[in-house]
Amino acid sequence: MKIRRNTARILVLSAVLPLLGLWNCVAQERSEMRSAAGKYNQVLFYIDRLYLEDVALDSLVEQAIIATVGELDPHSAYISAKDVQAMNEPLQGEFEGIGIEFAIIRDTLTVQATVAGGPSERVGLLAGDKIIRVDSSDVGGIGLSNQDVYGLLRGPKGTKVRLSVLRKGVPEPLDFVVTRDRIPINSLDAAYKVGDDVLYLKLSRFAAKSRDEIVEAMRSFDGVIRGVILDLRSNSGGYLPTAIDIANEFLEKGDLIVYTEGRAIPRMQESANGNGLYREGPLVVMIDENSASASEIVAGAIQDQDRGIIVGRRSFGKGLVQQAIPLDDGSELRLTIARYHTPSGRVIQSPYEAGHADKYYMDFYERYLRGESFSKDSIQFPDSLKFRTLKEGRTVYGGGGIMPDVFVPQDTTSYSSYYAALLRQGLVIEYMNGLCDRNRRAWTSRYRSFEKFDRDFEVTDDMIGELVALAEERGVALDEAGLERSREDLRRYMKALAASSIVSRDCFYRVMNSGSPEFQAALEALREASLSRNALL
């Protein structure tokens, strides 16, 4: 397929390097490169042979690489060998383990949910089970961390792990032997029907299997899809090929999606192949200031091709393409090799000064201080950054992020420093995990559907009082004015956490969206697009 073939030339290093003979011939082609590498090797040689004390050369080299890459653009990076797997895993879309979602509640490893069809579900583990022993290691009351749990429960496919579990209503521990398997990591956090005919899709990142998840959600939709809301808020990006594949689902054959170019990379462009599942019909893409990279590719293509409406706030502005280059010791260099352009020719990358990543990110923070999140009028674009969409000729802007068609200011009317402290320290999640654990059997029996949960479940004043007491135990003093200001937002967040734990994960967003101005604006934009389309018909 064209999309995969062309993009692989940019992003799959194993294909690029052998074709170019890049590393093998570089010393012969550039005397400057040969001289610089030779000088550094000399320095290492003399340190190793003559320096007063023993030196860990590996550490010196790592620090030198970090310093060197730090002189480049803000998005090039060096990843140590021990961090590569953790960095890549969410994008690869799967890992090998036992297939549970867990929480550490009162220093006890507690099963929150089992992955459908996964190894833990197959042997009979249930939400609410408390794991007290893993193989020969007692894991209760030892100050377990999330990383400790990963180390104990993850492992190669086909290996076995023995678990001892406490279950409510069962007097003795239960023993399970779980055979590890490949476990999917979903990037589509929510897919649900809004009203009778609108599909809401919340994508958290552009992972290897994100397009497959979206296609599955579309194909399993009960009825005819008459509108789609693609929520890319706080989606910081991921794989470029995945962004192209997802944009392809919404565009007509031949519509340009993106083009890239760099000093050593010739211009390459990607266009839709016409096989997308939702090429017509109202479409809204939601973005905010934390939407970046692949999110901006999709939003930019949809906007430039006049395919849908962009709702929210100006996106981050990351328009640089990184190549993941594996190094011999298992570490990885993520090197910027190209910049991308939207179909109209816009450069989305925000301005930066090489070697000054701190200033680059401070400039992003200063957008907030200038009031950009609260007023569209605070964002000024020079005429040189104005572009035209390709089909309707509407004005759009380059030079740093995607500017939405419908601007929705950030709502801070119910913000308080007290609520922020509860969130920062994870106290709301900690309290709700414990509350759901204590009531799991009764609540799962009572709330068998989201509709019943949404109608009947109430976050009571007693629950909030217990949360406030927990916060005081953790050193967060009660601020009564702050609590009153944020009470309704706090109730909604607590209810959303309960919905996720008791009903299903995507129900978190069903609750949170009910009070979201951005989501309401997206619905209104979709309605207007539907009316306009019907009028044309």
Q: Among residues 91, 62, 74, 515, which one has the least CA distance to residue 330?
A: 62
- pLDDT average, residue stretch 207-234: 95
DSSP-H helix ranges across 104-198: 119-123, 146-153
pLDDT, position 535: 53
528-531, Cβ contacts within 8 angstroms, sequence gap of 24 or more: 529/227, 529/282, 529/283, 529/284, 529/308, 529/309, 530/226, 530/227, 530/282
Task: Kindly indicate the confidence band of residue 339, based on its pLDDT and cuts at 50, 70 and 90.
Answer: very high
Is 517 domain-assigned?
A: no
What does the DSSP assignment read for 299-327?
A: HHHHHHTT-SEEEES------EEEEEEE-
- What are the pLDDT digits (tens) for 105-157? 878 898 887 887 789 988 889 888 899 999 998 998 888 888 889 889 999 99
The span from the CA of 256 to the CA of 254, in Å, is 6
- What are the pLDDT digits (tens) for 446-465? 999 999 999 999 999 999 99
- What are the pLDDT digits (tens) for 161-192? 999 999 887 889 999 999 999 888 889 999 99
Contact 134, 163 (CB under 8 A): yes
Is 472 domain-assigned?
A: yes
Q: Among residues 202, 184, 6, which one has the least CA distance to residue 96?
A: 184
Average pLDDT for the chain = 88
Q: Does one domain contain both 247 and 385?
A: yes
Is 483 domain-assigned?
A: yes
Q: Does one domain contain both 177 and 204?
A: no
Task: Kindly indicate the confidence band of residue 30, based on its pLDDT and cuts at 50, 70 and 90.
Answer: low
Token representation of residue 532: 């306009």
The span from the CA of 115 to the CA of 102, in Å, is 11
Question: Which residue is associated with the tokens 């910027």?
Answer: 336
Q: Does one domain contain both 470 and 349?
A: no
Instruction: Decide if pLDDT at 33 tops 90.
Output: no
Token representation of residue 49: 């042979």
Is 440 domain-assigned?
A: yes
Instruction: Decide if pLDDT at 20 tops 50.
Output: no
Q: Does one domain contain both 10 and 49?
A: yes
- Give me the domain span that covers residue 440: 417-505
Give the residue from 44, 73, 102 where a domain finishes: 73
Give the residue from 407, 429, 453 where a domain finishes: 407
Between 324 and 13, the more confident residue is: 324
Q: Does one domain contain both 224 and 239?
A: yes
Instruction: Decide if pLDDT at 200 tops 60.
Output: yes
Instruction: Decide if pLDDT at 58 tops 70.
Output: yes
The span from the CA of 106 to the CA of 166, in Å, is 14
Is 465 domain-assigned?
A: yes
Q: Does one domain contain both 393 and 458?
A: no
What does the DSSP assignment read for 201-268?
A: EEE--B-TTHHHHHHHHHHT-SS---EEEEE-TT---B-HHHHHHHHHTTS-TT-EEEEEE-SSS--E
Instruction: Decide if pLDDT at 296 tops 50.
Output: yes
Instruction: Decide if pLDDT at 53 tops 70.
Output: yes
Give the residue from 153, 184, 215 where a domain finishes: 184
- Who's near 461: CB < 8 A, 6+ residues apart? none
Residue 520 CA to its chain's centroid (Å): 22
Is 25 domain-assigned?
A: yes
Q: Does one domain contain both 339 and 360?
A: yes
157-161, Cβ contacts within 8 angstroms, sequence gap of 24 or more: 157/96, 157/181, 157/182, 161/98, 161/134, 161/135
How many distinct structural domains can be found in the chain?
A: 4
The span from the CA of 5 to the CA of 256, in Å, is 16
Assign residue 130 the CATH number of its domain. 2.30.42.10
pLDDT, position 4: 41
- pLDDT average, residue stretch 351-374: 83
The span from the CA of 436 to the CA of 431, in Å, is 9
Contact 364, 350 (CB under 8 A): yes
Question: Which residue is associated with the tokens 């640089």?
Answer: 320
pLDDT, position 25: 52
pTM of the model: 0.85
Task: Kindly indicate the confidence band of residue 5, based on its pLDDT and cuts at 50, 70 and 90.
Answer: very low
pLDDT, position 534: 61
Residue 331 CA to its chain's centroid (Å): 23
Is 30 domain-assigned?
A: yes
CA 496, 499, 501, 505: dihedral to nearest 10 degrees? -80
Contact 291, 283 (CB under 8 A): no
The span from the CA of 434 to the CA of 418, in Å, is 21
Q: Does one domain contain both 192 and 227?
A: yes
CA-based angle 77:83:85, to the nearest 5? 110
Q: Does one domain contain both 337 and 357?
A: yes
> What is the amino acid identity at position 336?
T
CB atoms < 10 A from the CB of 33, how many? 12
Residue 188, strand partner residues: 203
Catalytic residues: 293, 304, 318
Q: Does one domain contain both 136 and 247?
A: no
Between 196 and 498, the more confident residue is: 498
Task: Kindly indicate the confidence band of residue 365, based on its pLDDT and cuts at 50, 70 and 90.
Answer: confident
Is 430 domain-assigned?
A: yes
- Who's near 327: CB < 8 A, 6+ residues apart? 333
- What are the pLDDT digits (tens) for 508-519? 999 999 999 999
CA-based angle 517:455:496, to the nearest 5? 50
- pLDDT average, residue stretch 53-80: 92
Percent of all residues in the chain with a pLDDT value above 70, rounded to a whole number:
93
pLDDT, position 11: 42
Q: Does one domain contain both 151 and 249?
A: no
- Who's near 209: CB < 8 A, 6+ residues apart? 93, 94, 184, 187
DSSP-H helix ranges across 77-198: 81-92, 119-123, 146-153
pLDDT, position 12: 34
Question: Which residue is associated with the tokens 């964002």?
Answer: 379
Q: Does one domain contain both 339 and 355?
A: yes
